Structure 1
Amino acid sequence: MINNIRLKNGLRVILYPIPYVRSVTIGYGIKGGASSDERGKKGISHFLEHVIFKGTRKYSSYEIRHRIESIGGEVNALTGREYTLIFSKVPDKYLDRALDVIFDVVQHPLFPPEEIEKEKKVIIEEIKMYEDSPAEHLYDRFISGFWQDSSFGRSITGNIDEVKRIERQDIVEHFSRFYHPNNAVLCIVGKFGEKYALDLIKHLSENQMGEEHRYHPFISPNFAPTYVEKEVQQVHFIVGLQSLPLKDEKIYELSVLHTILGGGSTSRLFETIREKEGLVYTIYSDVNSYHNNGLLYVYGATSTDRFEKALSLINEELNKIRQNGVMEEEVYDAKEKIKGEFLLGVESTFSIMQHLFNRGIHSLPLLNTDEILEKIDSVTIDGVNSLANSLFSQKRALAVLAKDTDRLNTGVV
């Protein structure tokens, strides 16, 4: 049974005990990610996520890592567009140790100046790594154009110039603005006693004051093409369109539609563009849904002389689904695939924690495994085709990364 509790200090606690496992995963998440970065300080949420582990009132940076890794566990963090998540996975008997470390990290980080300057170099290397990856670099540029250079379209890691200018005081102020119980969700999944865990949480969680952050509002997309020139051998491309936010009731129809379109090696795009035509090595679709915004996109890479045909075939497939719909067999297979992947995922306490945290931080109903499966099973062919007609009738945005974009014919989208 999933328990959802709100403490007096505002902290939302989600507890999901699983008695037959021997691990426990803790996630402490903040409502605020890259889209909340202050103007002129792109990447500060991600920067803070790095330096939050560089020492606390109780533990040095090494001690934080050693207390968890010495028992076979892990402690880490990630930054998204709408949240930052600090997490730890440990053997079940070390729940108290992991909670102690997590709460000390999110409540009493020291942000030593020398560590901040050192970590700048690490983050700059991370940015360079992503920029050296054509797919990653193109996606960042596509998002920036699609959401019109708004805060929602910012790169999560930021850019080198602005990261260099971030100072300790900027990090302290950002931390004070977002890291407080009223703006956080704590999720624990695995083997633990609920009363014991809740008593520990109440003991460790302090009464820090602050306002709950509001999510970024809906943004009308921009469909102007994005061109990036880079020394690469292939043409990398993204075709994207506005999709559904997380809270939309048709989110399960969207998952089925995306799976049919480009979600795997039996999808339409893979079968047509790779298997039949041999135009690409990589071709897939993906969906990114947020609180008030959503995106469905297709990514691929091919040689310059094959680019126009590949782009034309993507366009044809989208139009074919919009005009003719999908088949009953495709809907059935897609639902079975989605359910199977979900069931395999929930064998991990970390995966379940991420799922529940993501729903909790967005104030969505906390559905258990059977309820999720029922939602997937309830998807109908009429629902999928209605959504396809709506989504695929929209204008589409294009982003291209190549050595010489002037040589490309991009008029087919």
Structure 2
Amino acid sequence: MQQQVYQHTLPNGLTILGEPMPWLESVAFTLMFPGGTAREPHDRIGLAGMTLEMTQRGSGRWSSREVVEELDFLGVDRSSSVSSFYTSISMSAMARVLDTTFEVAAAMVREPHFPEDELEEVRQSALLELSSIEDDPAQKCFVELKRSRFAEPFGRSSLGSVSGIEAVSHEDCVAFHHAHAKPQGAVLSIAGRFDWQDFLKLVDRYLGSWSGGPATHLGDVEPRVGSIHVPHDSQQTHIALAYDSVAYQHPEYYRGRGIVGILSDGMSSRLFTEVREKRGLVYAISASSHSLKNCGSVLCYAGTTSSRAQETLDVTMETIRSISQGIESGELSRLKSRTRTALVMEQESSASRSSQLAYDWITLGRTTTRQEVLSEIEQLTSENLIEHFKNHPPKRWTLVTIGPEPLEFQDEV
């Protein structure tokens, strides 16, 4: 089925994207604006997340409780998040309730109440969520990896810090929202069952008078190398590892992503087979592609016993480097089959597609189609993947370990 993606920019700078999926009964939209953790004051780490939560504590004609009741009554699935550079609000529902659902979301951006008497509840929730990572060493490992891999302000966690959260005031939340919730640099995407012209009228009604200038430029991201150990009295060791790869904007991104797929996608992947199945070194192992603006990395995780942690690290790095020695036809076939399946499944999810549209526009300045992605994947061969790996070898490694003892580690290609 031929994809059609609409695009329109309002006079205030807001970019609107739409992909009709008329075979669905649902509709989903995603709004992203430049209000991420990298824009927090250095002594208010956690402000972006707290501000986002406060915008959902009443807005427009709804009180804090009424927002929850209205969205539940409409049957809306919703999520919100803060990344390094953006704040996102996403909602999905039956197509027939789009108008009211969008009105609620727009009010969160344009007319948040910021009830001062709920700030302490928001603060305590943020502190509780931050403390919960102490019970999840794998998550903590990745929080520390991001902080170690990327220099300030790019390595901040959306969870914030204890001192930052405790310092946030009501005035801080209001000021942060007004400073960064602006239409210029923002994107609104919709996918599913909707009428494009009707949606444009809906957006103009609620966001047409939204105003604000462009976001300030934060500069490029540069990775940092080295290793950090976090002592933890346990029989387990958690290993988080990062190394250079190509970013999402790179013309050979799908080759880099294909290599990560061969390493980690599925239980027949190379890391799972070599590190877990053949040697029994880990109970969990994974790798994923990660792009932070211009900076591409591969992030890896392994959970193991402390007595076998050094061997796990060595074998993991050896397995990653083994890509240069060859890729079997079966590995490539499985990669392509998984990608085809994922693209088919995306056709059944308006939420997934709206999110991808927004991310593509923010990152690439354009949208990608399923056919484009499929074409890129079908062009992958063992030869061009190996060539890519040799041209962009793993280097500038960053290691974080949580466990009783640090591991021996050298940043070598």
**What TM bracket, shorter-length normalisation?**
over 0.9
In structure 2, the residue matched to 1:51 is 54
In structure 2, the residue matched to 1:313 is 315
Q: Secondary structure in 2 aligned to 1:153? A: coil
Give the aligned length: 409
C-alpha contact (below 8 Å) 1:256/1:338 kept by paired residues:
no
- Give the gaps of 5 or more residues in structure 2: none
Q: State whether structure 2 residue 274 is matched by structure 1 residue 272.
A: yes
More deviation in 214-223 or 341-350? Answer: 214-223
Structure 1 residues 140 and 118: CA distance shift in structure 2, 3 A: same
Please report how far the alpha carbon of residue 238 of structure 1 lies from its aligned counterpart in structure 2 after TM superposition.
1.5
C-alpha contact (below 8 Å) 1:215/1:292 kept by paired residues:
no
| 2:137 aligned residue (126, 134, 139) | 134
More deviation in 289-298 or 204-213? Answer: 204-213
For 1:217-236, list aligned pairs within 5 A.
217-236=219-238
C-alpha contact (below 8 Å) 2:74/2:101 kept by paired residues:
no
C-alpha contact (below 8 Å) 1:241/1:391 kept by paired residues:
no
2:390 maps to amino acid: N
For 1:172-251, list aligned pairs within 5 A.
172-213=174-215, 216-251=218-253
Q: Secondary structure in 2 aligned to 1:181? A: coil
In structure 2, the residue matched to 1:375 is 376
2:55 maps to amino acid: I
C-alpha contact (below 8 Å) 2:32/2:86 kept by paired residues:
yes
Please report how far the alpha carbon of residue 57 of structure 1 lies from its aligned counterpart in structure 2 after TM superposition.
3.2
Q: State whether structure 2 residue 354 is matched by structure 1 residue 353.
A: yes
More deviation in 86-95 or 72-81? Answer: 72-81
C-alpha contact (below 8 Å) 1:264/1:284 kept by paired residues:
no
1:75 maps to amino acid: R
Separation in structure 2 between the aligned mates of residue 383 and residue 200 of structure 1, nearest angstrom:
47
State TM-score, norm by structure 1: 0.94
Please report how far the alpha carbon of residue 363 of structure 1 lies from its aligned counterpart in structure 2 after TM superposition.
4.1
Please report how far the alpha carbon of residue 130 of structure 1 lies from its aligned counterpart in structure 2 after TM superposition.
2.1
Please report how far the alpha carbon of residue 28 of structure 1 lies from its aligned counterpart in structure 2 after TM superposition.
1.3
Separation in structure 2 between the aligned mates of residue 231 and residue 353 of structure 1, nearest angstrom:
44
- Give the gaps of 5 or more residues in structure 1: none
Please report how far the alpha carbon of residue 359 of structure 1 lies from its aligned counterpart in structure 2 after TM superposition.
0.8
Please report how far the alpha carbon of residue 285 of structure 1 lies from its aligned counterpart in structure 2 after TM superposition.
0.8
Please report how far the alpha carbon of residue 264 of structure 1 lies from its aligned counterpart in structure 2 after TM superposition.
2.1
In structure 1, the residue matched to 2:5 is 2
More deviation in 151-160 or 240-249? Answer: 240-249
| 1:42 aligned residue (29, 41, 45) | 45
Which string of whole-angstrom CA distances, capped at 9 and with x for unpartnered residues, describes residues 350-389 of structure 1?
0011111111222432122222211222223333112212
In structure 2, the residue matched to 1:405 is 405
More deviation in 94-103 or 58-67? Answer: 58-67
1:14 maps to amino acid: L
Please report how far the alpha carbon of residue 59 of structure 1 lies from its aligned counterpart in structure 2 after TM superposition.
0.8
Please report how far the alpha carbon of residue 216 of structure 1 lies from its aligned counterpart in structure 2 after TM superposition.
4.1
Please report how far the alpha carbon of residue 393 of structure 1 lies from its aligned counterpart in structure 2 after TM superposition.
4.4
1:326 maps to amino acid: I
Q: Secondary structure in 1 aligned to 2:19? A: strand
Please report how far the alpha carbon of residue 113 of structure 1 lies from its aligned counterpart in structure 2 after TM superposition.
1.1
Structure 1 residues 361 and 319: CA distance shift in structure 2, 3 A: closer
Q: Secondary structure in 1 aligned to 2:74? A: coil
In angstroms, what is the RMSD of aligned CA positions?
1.8
Task: Using the aligned pairs only, state the percent identity.
Answer: 23
1:284 maps to amino acid: S
| 2:104 aligned residue (92, 101, 106) | 101
In structure 2, the residue matched to 1:304 is 306
State TM-score, norm by structure 2: 0.94
More deviation in 386-395 or 340-349? Answer: 386-395
C-alpha contact (below 8 Å) 2:7/2:16 kept by paired residues:
yes
Q: Secondary structure in 2 aligned to 1:362? A: helix
Separation in structure 2 between the aligned mates of residue 240 and residue 136 of structure 1, nearest angstrom:
15
In structure 2, the residue matched to 1:121 is 124
Q: Secondary structure in 2 aligned to 1:152? A: coil
Separation in structure 1 between the aligned mates of residue 44 and residue 231 of structure 2, nearest angstrom:
26
